[in-house]
Amino acid sequence: MQLIDRYILKLFLLFLVAGIAVFVTLFLTVDVMSFALRNADAPTTALIKLYGYKTPALIYQLMPVACLMATLFTLSSLNKSNELTALFSMGMGLARIATPILAAVAVISVVCFGIADQILPRLTQQANYVEYVEIKKRPGMYATVKTMKIWYRTENILFNIKTLNPQEAKAQGITLYYFDPNWDLTQLITANEVEMKGSQWELKNGLVTLFATESSFPLTKSFASKTISMNEDLTDIQSTTNSSDVMSLKELGRFIERNKEAGLNTLRYEVDYQAKFGFAFAAFVMSLVGVPFSVSRARSGGTFVNLGICLGLAFLYWGTYNSGITLGQNGYIPPIVAAWGPNTLAVLLAVFLLKRGKR
């Protein structure tokens, strides 16, 4: 049995490495060409650095699909060579035959989860720095999370945002610092809420403080609503402000706690927190779903039929997963249900199909 398990595992790992290599090569070829065309003046060394930092995250994102495809091709190849028939004749069921594959995927999922939590956030920060500072020459658009605030700089304005909701074009807890050419503070604006309408931002319930040179005391005035013009529009800020991607679970947990204490809406970040766990098990779940379909249609079309079925299941899973995340971020379902609901449904489906197969 150990010899058979090692043989199946070796075949699975071979398909997995080949699948990852193909997927990553195809994605990088298209993405690099597209990015290079949009940034024709980008130095070659900067592009190499950018995609060097991005590639590990790309592999992590593609791992569930790669594991599904490796599971499919491993069992389908065994089925095509009649090796599955021999194993069935020995009294082994399909679930037992797939055990070394699922065990390997489980180990891969745990390792990838640790890497995604401790390493990928730092690589994402480095990729953002290369893209916005070295390539696009827009250091003001390089967003980093410091304590519990998101900081930006545009020309002579420095501002921070406690919570940003790009989907609704709203922010909470904003502070803007205005400087003169000598970088002396001239004006300070704080607001509880912001509605971003392109370059026009509407601030609500805030204070304006003026630091006039002719006065030794700053002048402060409150306002219910105030409109200001900003150089950065929402689409630029939205592209750099998925702060969950640049924080580990521990950092994200502290971020949520501090914003809750400040009375801010943290629903989106709570969903992201749960999704970090849910996505880590996506590879195992998708591989488990792929097991019964890998041999179910061997007589009516072979590998290509199974491939089409599994690709359809993959799209169905991702559609359900993304829908759950969206519903959770909009408050229709609890964060834990948003992140774990699709996984639970997929596991139940796989168990049902395996039992129905009676193998």
User: Across the chain, what does the average pLDDT equal?
Assistant: 82
3-state DSSP assignment of residue 201:
strand
Q: Is 90 exceeded by the pLDDT of residue 14? A: yes
- How far apart CA 9 and CA 75 sit, in angstroms, is 11
Dihedral angle at the C-alpha atoms of 294, 299, 304, 306, nearest 10 degrees? -30
In terms of DSSP bridges, do strands 185-197 and 170-179 run parallel, antiparallel, or are they unpaired? Answer: antiparallel
Q: Tell me: the pLDDT tens digits for 98-155?
A: 899 999 999 999 999 999 999 998 898 888 888 877 887 766 556 444 334 566 666 7
Strand pairing partners for 153?
158
pLDDT bucket at 357, cuts 50 / 70 / 90: low
**E-strand stretches of the chain:** 145-146, 149-154, 157-165, 170-179, 185-197, 200-210, 219-229
Mean of the pLDDT values across residues 66-93? 86
- How many Å apart are CA 64 and CA 312, to the nearest integer? 14
Residue 10, pLDDT score:
94
Identify the pLDDT of residue 219. Answer: 84
Q: What pLDDT band is residue 243 in, cutting at 50, 70 and 90?
A: low
Backbone angles phi, psi at 188, to 5 degrees: -130, 125
Query: How confident is the model at residue 215, as a pLDDT?
Result: 67
pLDDT band for position 303 (50/70/90)? low
The reported pLDDT for the residue numbered 234 is: 47
pLDDT at res. 358? 53
- Averaged pLDDT for residues 74-84: 84
pLDDT digits (tens, 9 = 90+) for 255-302: 788 777 766 678 888 999 999 998 988 999 999 988 887 776 544 555
| pLDDT value, residue 7 | 92
Domain boundaries, the chain: 2-124+263-357, 144-239
